[in-house]
Amino acid sequence: MTETMPETGRGTRVVVEKLADFAWGDRRIVEVDGRSIGVINVGGTFHALRNNCPHHGAPLCEGVVKGTMADTPAHEYSYVRHNEYIVCPWHGYEFTLATGRSLVEPEKTRVRVYEVVVEGDDVVLYV
């Protein structure tokens, strides 16, 4: 279910799905003005990213959502920031869901993020 509405001051309003039909861990890929955008429900928080990895154009939003390893001394391992990153399914580039910035080169490599909110019973994307 996607329903595009007239442009507002926030951009084009797109109803992605009914909240009741968008379970934790689910994702939807929508096309808006020729752009593929992934909307992902991570523990009740919604994120929207351009579904195109800047490295080689992979469908980024098909990747795994995960955390990462902290910088620790040798032989110590600490998994942190659970469910804050998405991993490109082709080459493993990692991007922060909230900002779209890459884990390795955050000032150089990033993917576009979009506003996504719950309005009443709907999950709504603004492009």
**CB-neighbour burial class of residue 71 (10 A; exposed 0-12, middle 13-18, buried 19+):** exposed
Check which CATH number belongs to the domain holding 42 and give it. Answer: 2.102.10.10
Residue 119's domain comprises: 3-126
pLDDT at 58: 93
- The tens place of each residue's pLDDT in the chain, 127 residues long, gives 555 555 556 889 999 999 999 999 999 999 999 999 999 999 999 999 999 999 998 999 999 998 877 888 888 888 778 788 999 999 999 999 999 999 888 899 999 999 999 999 999 999 9
Full DSSP string of 43-82: TTEEEEEESS-TTT---GGGSPEEEEE---STT---EEEE
